[in-house]
Amino acid sequence: MLSERKHNQTDSNADKSIIFKTYLSLIYLNQEMLSVELQVLIECCKVSLLQASDTPLVEIIENRKINWKRLQKMIAFHSIRPTVYHALRVIKSEKIDADFFAQLNSEVKVKSIHNIFLSAELNRINFLFEKHQISSIPYKGLTWSQLLYKKVFREGVDMDFLIDKNKAFEAVRLLKNDDYQINHLAEGSKKYQHEELIRLLLDIERVEISLIKPNPHNYIFNIDLHWDLLIKPHRYNFDTINLFTNRFNEEEKLLLIMVLHNGKKEVWSKLKYVCDLLLFVHEYGGTFNWDSFIAKLDNQSIEKNLMKGLTLVNLFLPLSNIIIISKEIPKAKALNISFWENALRYELNLKARFDFVRLKFSNHKSLKESYYYLTQYLKYLSYPTPQATRLVQFPRSYKLLNLSSTVVSYIYFSAFKRKN
């Protein structure tokens, strides 16, 4: 009897070993294996967002040595706390570090309560814009959370609206009358009134303004009002006005905004951005006309950003079983994965900034686009702006001095923030 029980247990362990080895064979990328912490994050995303089997996640947690502090840092960087929390709560493994899980639990509860207040405010502001006939498209954060995320919510801190550029003054005036005030990101902006600041931002090719309003529950409502999705260096051969026409249907607009923001602007640098596309594919991928969408784009640069995103989605979900597309989806390259692994904010780290720029260039379709990006970005940094923290601001005609001040200020404040 004992011998039979031992035999069954051995068979069971052998089966588990085969499952685990099979799983490991799937997570090699360009001959480099993903870290165990990144494996945990990817499997958590699959369990929470796709309702996939939790067997691979359990196998990793039960059989691998996890650096819980590193995992905590990576979760914060990738902004997927609710997603990871939901998956780990489901499996209830005793191998999960108690302190790690307690902190994650606390953070998710706070964000969940904040989301409830923000969701109500988002819907109210959306109605306010509609009532005053201000064309607007809410996106990112709460909007995509409501549209795509079923079991968990998307981590975010503010509300984002894209508005018709011609309605910028009217929209800000409306929000001001609703007790919203400019969120002064730098001391210099405090001397400007709302409309004066917008004129200045338009003049120096900025594309957004941030407004805040406290509420009775001690939360700060923050609205980022955008009149363009991308700053000029990123806007290669694309005009945001297309999103306010009938050229694209609602699903296509959702995907296009996602590719422009998550792909072109943020170059799929966080798992949160890939999860948005993952859920779009999961929700609409089988019925969405991918070839028609690409033809409507008529933009090889945006097309490349889309294909890069699909490449990364393929790490979570076999796209060949879901979508029909005539373009070949390439294999994922190590550059994005390396950025995910390092989990360093490029705002605070020079190496991360360099790697982020490398990602930008790898997403460009041609040398011509890279040249356009570089020249326009240098011009962008050469403007004085009240909404940037610089050691010294020079008049607009002193472009080289403003550019130098931007670079030196970035190095200085990055070092100061790391120190503190």
Distance CA 63, CA 37 (A): 13
Distance CA 196, CA 209 (A): 12
User: Minimal CA–CA distance to 148: which of 157, 160, 139?
Assistant: 139
Amino acid at 58: V
Query: Tens of pLDDT along the chain (420 residues)?
Result: 434 443 444 444 444 443 343 343 344 343 347 999 999 999 999 999 999 999 999 999 999 999 999 999 999 999 999 999 999 999 988 999 999 999 999 999 999 988 888 899 999 999 999 999 999 999 998 899 989 998 899 998 889 999 998 899 999 999 999 999 888 765 555 667 778 888 888 888 899 999 999 877 677 899 999 999 999 999 888 999 889 989 999 999 999 999 999 999 999 999 999 999 999 999 999 999 999 999 999 998 999 999 999 999 999 999 988 999 998 888 888 889 999 999 999 888 888 999 999 999 999 999 999 999 999 999 999 998 876 677 888 888 889 998 898 888 878 777 665 555
Distance CA 380, CA 146 (A): 34
Contact 158, 224 (CB under 8 A): yes
Instruction: Write down the H helix ranges in 230-299.
Output: 250-258, 271-284, 290-297
Distance CA 193, CA 187 (A): 13
Distance CA 239, CA 229 (A): 9
**Cα dihedral value 78, 84, 86, 88, nearest 10:** -170
DSSP 96: S
Distance CA 274, CA 316 (A): 10
Distance CA 377, CA 208 (A): 17
Distance CA 340, CA 38 (A): 8
pTM of the model: 0.88
Distance CA 56, CA 37 (A): 13
* Class (C level, CATH) for 102-227: alpha beta
Alpha carbon 213 to its chain's center: 24
Long-range contact list for 409-417, CB < 8 A, 24+ apart? 410/353, 411/350, 413/389, 414/347, 414/348, 414/349, 414/350, 417/348
Distance CA 76, CA 393 (A): 33
Domains of the chain, by residue range, sit at 12-96, 102-227
Collapse the DSSP code of 402 into the 3-class scheme (helix H, G, I; strand E, B; otherwise coil) and give the result.
helix
